[in-house]
Amino acid sequence: MLIRKRRGWEIPESQVTPEHVFLNRRQILKAAGFGAAGILASRGIGPARADEETIPTADLYPAARNDAYTVERAITDKDINFTYNNFYEFGSHKRIYRDAQDLEIRPWTVEIAGMVDNPKTWDIDDLVRTMGVEERVYRHRCVEAWSMVAPWAGFPLAKLVAAAGPKPDAKYVVFKTFMDPDTARGQRQSWYPWPYIEAMTVAEAMNEMPFLVTGVYGQPLVKQMGAPIRLALPWKYGFKSIKSIVSIEFTDTRPKTFWEEIQPAEYGFWANVNPEVDHPRWSQATEEVLGTDGRVPTQLFNGYGEQVAHLYKDMDQSARSLWM
Ligand SMILES: Nc1nc2c(c(=O)[nH]1)N[C@H]1C(S)=C(S)[C@@H](COP(=O)(O)O)O[C@H]1N2
Ligand SMILES: [Mo]
Give the model confidence (pLDDT) of 88-134 as tens digits.
Answer: 999 999 999 999 999 999 999 999 999 999 999 999 999 999 999 99
Give the model confidence (pLDDT) of 206-238 as tens digits.
Answer: 999 999 999 999 999 999 999 999 999 999 999
CB count within 10 Å of CB 312 equals 18
State the sign of the Cα–Cα–Cα–Cα dihedral 236, 238, 239, 243.
Answer: positive
Q: Is the CB of 86 under 6 A from ligand 1?
A: yes
Ligand closest in space to the Cα of 97: 1
- Angle at CA of residue 153, ends 147 and 159, nearest 5°: 110
Protein residue with its CA nearest to atom 8 in ligand 1: 87
Give the model confidence (pLDDT) of 242-280 as tens digits.
Answer: 999 999 999 999 999 999 999 999 999 999 999 999 999
pLDDT at 212: 99
pLDDT at 52: 56
Q: Pick the residue with more confidence: 8 or 146?
A: 146
pLDDT grade, residue 137 (50/70/90)?
Answer: very high
Give the model confidence (pLDDT) of 144-165 as tens digits.
Answer: 999 999 999 999 999 999 999 9
Q: What is the mean pLDDT of residues 306-321?
A: 97
Q: What is the mean pLDDT of residues 31-35?
A: 45
pLDDT at 289 over 90: yes
pLDDT at 53: 74
Q: What is the mean pLDDT of residues 165-191?
A: 98
pLDDT at 286 over 70: yes
pLDDT at 41: 45
Q: pTM for the full model?
A: 0.88
Protein residue with its CA nearest to atom 6 in ligand 1: 87
Per the CB < 8 A criterion, the answer to whether 36 and 82 are in contact is yes
Q: Pick the residue with more confidence: 10 or 233?
A: 233
pLDDT at 42: 42
CATH class of 14-323: alpha beta
Q: Is the CB of 149 under 6 A from ligand 1?
A: no
Helix H or strand E segment including 306: helix 305-308
Q: Is the CB of 257 under 6 A from ligand 1?
A: no
pLDDT grade, residue 294 (50/70/90)?
Answer: confident
Give the Å distance between the CA of 147 and the centre of ligand 2.
Answer: 9
**Mean predicted lDDT score pLDDT of the chain:** 89
Per the CB < 8 A criterion, the answer to whether 275 and 315 are in contact is no
CA atoms within 13 A on the CB side of 159: 15
Ligand 1 pocket test: which of 87, 96, 192 has the largest number of ligand atoms within 8 Å of its C-beta? 87
> Going by DSSP bridges, is the β-strand pair 172-177/120-123 parallel, antiparallel, or unpaired?
unpaired
Per the CB < 8 A criterion, the answer to whether 64 and 134 are in contact is yes
Give the Å distance between the CA of 149 and the centre of ligand 1.
Answer: 14
Protein residue with its CA nearest to atom 15 in ligand 1: 238
